[in-house]
Amino acid sequence: MPDKYIKPALSLEESVEWLRKHNVQIEDREKLQVERFLKAETTFRLMSCVKSMPEKAITFSDLKKIYFFDRQLRNVFLEAFEIAEVQLRNSVVNVLVTEPGAGAFVYEDVTIFDPRFHSEHGRWLAELKEKVERRSQEGFVSYYKERYKADFPRLPLWATVELMSFGELVEFCYNLSRLSKVKIAHNYCMDGPTLFNWLSNYVDVRNACAHHRILYGRTLNRRHKPLSVGWGEVLDDKLGVVLVSLFKFLSTGCGIKDRNNEFLIHWRKRTKKLLDKNRAITGLLSGYGLPKEFSPQT
């Protein structure tokens, strides 16, 4: 195999022929329409869908439907990840600041972290302070800077976590002591290793959605751990299993098992409606590792 990329860029006409060679049925009368679509959406993005399709042929109309379904699914994921991230921030703060002797700046105490992180703690604190300084003009940061000049750029934990990205928040939690991680996991009725396996996949999928990457056919960087039972017919290395686990994660967040909260009801119904509307499309759910009959829990 060549060790350098030598393929030329494809023209719109060549892209249409590439799709045809890969089992996409395109009538001659559709060519102009397909070329217009490729000009707007780029061939590369569509190719990632095609390469994950089953071997049997698919019409260009169905391929387009998968492409637009993927966009809607990304929005469904992002809506859920917003709630998951806020829940996790709240859980972390509640666990750490309620410890005996803990205060607003508990994260400055190296002993709350895993011993393996102790040598990195000083560097991490310095980078955190730099981040606060860079964002000192933002609303609540600006308030703390003006109101508590003597402490700035130190911020209380509940303000600090608001400046962390989802990935930084998960990494912060992962570096905590084993006992703290167990307490956080307990809020979700889970064990620590499973919780952080899920959170790591959530970060990856959230970033993929935020950068508008195609989810169809995407393989997770790590297999999604099940709880007490397996995932059944749902594949543990595709995006569908993340969707399934989010129902569990959101319904038990912060230790409150509330399967009837307003957001979860709305989100479940929206997801079910999206799936039901599109499940007949050739190869749709299999591209996410879901059985054709899959439906969100009610």
pTM: 0.91
Beta-carbon contacts of residue 91 (< 8 Å; ≥ 6 apart): 184, 187, 188, 253, 254, 255
CA angle 262–267–270, rounded 5-degree value: 125
DSSP letters, 234-294, are: S-TTBHHHHHHHHHHHHHHGGG---TT-HHHHHHHHHHHHHHHHHTTSTTTGGGGT--TT-
> Over its length of 298 residues, how does the chain's per-residue pLDDT go in tens digits?
668 888 888 899 999 999 999 999 999 999 999 999 998 888 888 888 888 887 678 899 999 999 999 999 999 999 999 999 999 999 999 999 988 888 999 999 999 999 999 999 999 999 999 999 999 988 899 999 999 999 999 999 999 999 999 999 999 999 999 999 999 999 998 999 999 999 999 999 999 999 999 999 999 999 999 976 668 889 999 999 999 999 889 888 654 555 557 888 899 999 999 999 999 998 899 999 999 888 886 4
CB 216 within 8 A of CB 232: no
Domain boundaries, the chain: 12-51, 68-288
Beta bridge partners of 59: 25
| Tokens matching residue 24 | 């996409």
